[in-house]
Structures are given as C-alpha cells and as structure tokens.
Amino acid sequence: MVELVARVATVEDEGEWIARALGMTVREMRAELKARRVETIDDCAPARVTVTATVDRIDAWAFEQARLMVESVGGVKGEAAIEAILAEGLTELIARWPGIDLPWGLVPEDEDERKWRAELAAIEETARAAVERLTIVEAAEYGGEDEIAWPEGVAAIDGKLREAARELAWRDLELGELGRRVIEHDVWKVLGYSSFEHYFRERVGLSPSSMGARVALAKRVMGLPEIEAAVVEGRIGYEAAAAIARVAGAGTVEAWIGHAEGRTVKVLREEIEAVEMIARAEGVAVEGMGPPDEAMISDVRDLERAVIAKVIGEESPESETEAVEVEVTTTGLRMSVGEEIGKFWRTLERLHGTLGIEGSFVAFLVRAVMKAWGGAIRVEDGYRDVYVRERWRCASPVCRSRNVTPHHVVYRSRGGGEERDNLVALCEVCHLELVHGGRLEVGGVAPGGLVWRAMGWASG
C-alpha cells in the first residue's frame, strides 16, 4: 500500500491519501490508480512448471550456447532468454511453412474465448474484493517515536548501513521461514483468502513475489543450516546466501560459503551460472559439484567468448584449453519456467513433432537462434577483440551491464597506447560517470591484473 500511495501522493496531499488508504484494500487502491492512469506493478508470482528434454550431450551444449547468444544480444536472463529462443523457433516454423495451421496456444484467442476469460476474471475479482473488505484492520493510533540518531561521516554511515543490512538479511530468512509455515499450515486458507499471494498482499502487507522468493530460499535452507549461520554471523549477505542455496548440497555448502566470502556478488553469480550450465548440459546434480575451479571457469568463459565473437561477427579466438573428444551420450535438460512459457515450449514441441523435422526439438531451436542472432551486433571499430575477451560485459567487479565501451587504463592523454593489456571494456556509466568523473580508478594490466579503487576502498 505504501508503494502504491507513494506513486501518487505529494507533500500537499499525502495526508488525504493516507486517510483514504486506511479504508481501502490494495486491490481497490491499485484500481484507483489505474483509473488515474498511474502505472503500478503486479507483484503476483506466476505459477511455475518444469520442462524437460532428453537430448544428446552435443545438443545440450549447443542449447547452452544459444542461450548465451540470446543473453549477449538481448540482455535478458533466465526464462526470458528461453522465451526468446522459443519465439525464434516459432518464427522459423512460420517462415518455412507460411500456411501452417498453428495449434491453440500459439494463436490469438477468438472473441468467445476473450469474453469467457473476462467473465471469469470479473467473478474472481468480485469474490476476492468481498474477502478483502472483511479484513481491513483499523490502523493503531501512531504515538510517535524518538527521532533516529543518524550517523555522521562516511565511516559511520557505512558502518550503520552494513549493520542494518546484516539485520535485514537474517530478518529476510526469518520471514521466509514464517511464510513456509503459512503454506505448511494452510494459514491463508483457514483465514479465507483465495491464495498465498492474496493473503500476503492484503493481510500482511508484503509483496507476494518477494515473499515467494523468501519462502523458496527458506525451503532450500532447511537442509542447509550452515547458510543461515553464515548470514547471522555476517560472513555472507542475503544475495550471496540466495545464490549459494541454488547450488549447494550438504557436502558442498561449507565450500560454497568460503568461496563466496572472497568474491563480489557479481563474480559469485557468474561462477554459479557457469556451474549450473555445466550441470544442465552434462545431466548431473548441481548440488554435488561444489565451487568451480579455474579450469572450469576458463572453459565456460571460452565458450562465451566464442558466442560473443559470433554475435558481433568477429572470428572466434583460439581456446586456451585443449579440445577434448566427448562420447555422444544422452542427457536430460531440465528447466524451471513460468507456466505460460512452459505451455509455449510444450505446444511448439508438439508442433515440431507433427512436421517431421529432422533432429531433436532442442537442436531445431538452436539452429533457429544461430540463424537469427549470429552477427546481430555490428561493431565497426577496432576493439572487437577486447569486447570478445571481456565476454561483452563491463569489467568492473560489481557491475553486470553489457553496454560496453573501450577504456584505456593509462589514459591516451598520459601516454597510454592501444596495447591490449592497456584496454578494458567498461559500461558507459562506469566509464564516463565513474572513471572519468573521478569516482572510480582502475590500474594494473588487463585483463587479469587490474586493481579497482573507489572512494578509498580497494579491490584487487
């Protein structure tokens, strides 16, 4: 409710908006703002499904390469990348068979279907609104609190913020565990709410999507108490805990925690993504793999460089690792996606099967992506190889942007040349606003010997 009111209230009328909010449900407030053409966010977590495919290992690795290509060009991650891959597959089918009769689920709904869904939505809306009107709780009179003693000075502000962040991290874990118990004991059903999301939005006043993420983490942490202990002790933060919980097992969790302590969240996420990619392609359980070694990271980054090279039309650099012959065996691709994307996958897969297209459905999707996205980014300057080396990512240890530009570590105005060890890819913000704005320094030798310094804090 606070988030919604903050979108429209001003200093002059905030009291009026707060008074109105006390007698409204979140749903009613959202409808009010929609009528005023104020943009709002639907924070309901979509239902999720798992899609699986049994393919040979070559197709599995090719699919991961296609995923990397989509992420590089489109800047999307996770299921958004899978949706883009499916869209390219659908486009390829339509291009090859212009008169194809698309099955239900890939064509727009007809008028009767739209009316039926609208009526169903109206009935559901009325039912939920009736429950919500019964659960509005009058706000307790606010008696005021002592004014917060805000810290002064950089060190004091930084210390207070990190202290608050540690407390917030373990409170988030506590919220997740309580949310898990809400589900376990059917609390939302007993109290008459239509769903988990409905209960948390109206009864508790928390974002259902963020609560869903906390509950998912709590479920994973149940068998890995070491993660919660590390958060409480301040060894890792909430973001690192959530990332580790995706891949850690009972035998690898301590190794992952120790691994995370010496890395930024950006680097940790990239390494976890690499481990997950290998696990998917090889059909093995990610929980038993543990943190990646240098050889594993090198192999994955070489693969990503090859993909980036194809995207920008640059010849692929030679891999630093020797090619290994792999026996062609089958493996299982397994991905968790939103319900709608899951329907999209299964419907397109059935259509592919009816057309008698040679090869697996996964291989077909890979060919469609490579055909459409290869050479999609045209880079006409002389720094293509630098972008490939950096895998089309900002080299800053804390930035995940892909909007890269070339930066000379030793400025050209100070005698720096075009040698590749003096060049690094930085996004526009890190490059122009931070480095050239005097708020971030980078020195050393690219790519592996850089030292970063910001406001007196150093990271090697």
Arithmetic mean of pLDDT, 83-107: 79
Which pLDDT band, with edges at 50, 70 and 90, does 323 fall under? very low
Task: Report helix, strand or coil for 159.
Answer: helix
Q: What is the band of 123 on the pLDDT scale with cuts at 50, 70, 90?
A: low
Confidence of residue 255 (pLDDT cuts 50, 70, 90): very high
Average pLDDT, the chain: 80
pLDDT of residue 408: 92
Looking at residue 139, its pLDDT comes to 46
Q: What DSSP character marks residue 287?
A: G
What confidence tens digit (pLDDT) does each residue in 371-400 have? Answer: 877 666 666 568 888 888 888 788 898 888
> Burial letters for 45-73: b for 16+ Cβ neighbours within 10 Å, e otherwise?
beeebebebebbbebbbbbbbbbbbbbbb
Q: Evaluate if residue 321 carries a pLDDT over 50.
A: no
Tell me the three state secondary structure of residue 364.
helix
Tell me the three state secondary structure of residue 300: helix
pLDDT of 257: 94
Please report the pLDDT score of residue 238 as a whole number. Answer: 86
pLDDT of 37 > 70? The answer is: yes
Residues of the chain with pLDDT > 90, as a percent, come to 8
Predicted structure pTM score: 0.66
Confidence tier at 460 by pLDDT (50, 70, 90): very low
Residue among 22, 17, 29, 45 at smallest CA distance from 336: 45
What pLDDT, on the 0 to 100 scale, is given for residue 77?
Answer: 76
Predicted local distance difference test score (pLDDT) of residue 326: 40
Instruction: State yes or no: pLDDT of 138 exceeds 80.
Output: no
Q: What is the pLDDT of residue 320?
A: 43
Backbone angles phi, psi at 74, to 5 degrees: -90, -15
Cβ 304 vs Cβ 391: under 8 Å: yes
Higher pLDDT, 62 or 271: 271
Using one digit for the tens of pLDDT, what is the confidence trace for 168-205? 888 888 998 999 999 889 888 888 887 888 888 888 88
Cα–Cα–Cα angle for 62, 66, 69, rounded to 5 degrees: 140
